[in-house]
Amino acid sequence: MRRHNIYYYTLARLTPFLEHATLELLGERHDPAAMTLAAEDLDALIKSDPSHRGLEQCYLESCSPFIAVSTYRLAHACWAREPLMAMKLCHAARVATGVEIHPGATIGRRFVVDHGTGTVIGETTEIGEDCTVLNGVIIGSRRMNANISTKRHPTIGHRVSIGAYSQLLGNIVIGDDVRIHPYSVITRDLHARARAWADHSRPIEPPDMPGAILTQ
């Protein structure tokens, strides 16, 4: 039942931006497993963000970044067999939420986008489990045009936190447990457990608790 609630609220936010035929086709072909992943994403968001007092319906009705993530789950499930539908879902989510996640991106479980407005995640991005992305983050390629159809976006490990307005550009590798401070520009690999700002990094000791403060 919970998966159905997430699906219903997601479609309710997207309906003004999708034609009726697309909604009908999605209803026939969507993968229920996508909403199981979205439910895990929602649990992770509720655990990390007390602003809605833990009320699940508040997140479903008023938290645009979560709707962007749940739409991505639907679009990614469609990407291989229905790429046009997947791109329509991506466009609708961008207009409705201000977050653009390409349906071709590969994102692990319990993914959290907080605030999120202006965040863009490119097609060949790979993100591990238990990662958090804030608003204005660009996970993109290093070229603005004439991109070739190969791996051109970052590969990001598990438990990575990316601060607001940071940019991760190109086919780089970000290790597990990395913390990237706000307004950073990352264009080279970062080893596991690094803390990064601008284009620099240094190793840190394991944090005292999960989700260590990004600005320390």
Write out pLDDT tens, residues 166-215.
999 999 999 999 999 999 999 999 999 999 876 544 554 455 544 444 43
Q: What's at 160, amino acid-wise?
A: V
Q: What's at 105, amino acid-wise?
A: A
Cβ(68)–Cβ(101) under 8 Å? yes
Catalogue all structural domains in the chain, each as residue range(s) with its CATH number: 1-98 (no CATH), 105-216 (2.160.10.10)
* Separation CA 153–CA 151 (nearest Å): 6
Picking from 33-37, 56-60, 115-119, 180-184, which range would have the lowest pLDDT averaged per residue? 56-60
* Separation CA 11–CA 27 (nearest Å): 10
* Separation CA 58–CA 129 (nearest Å): 24
Please tell me the pTM assigned to this model.
Answer: 0.88
* 3 state DSSP class of 200: strand
Q: Which helix (H) or strand (E) holds 162?
A: strand 161-162
Q: From residue 191, give the alpha-carbon distance in Å to each of 38, 42, 153, 188, 201.
A: 29, 29, 17, 10, 9
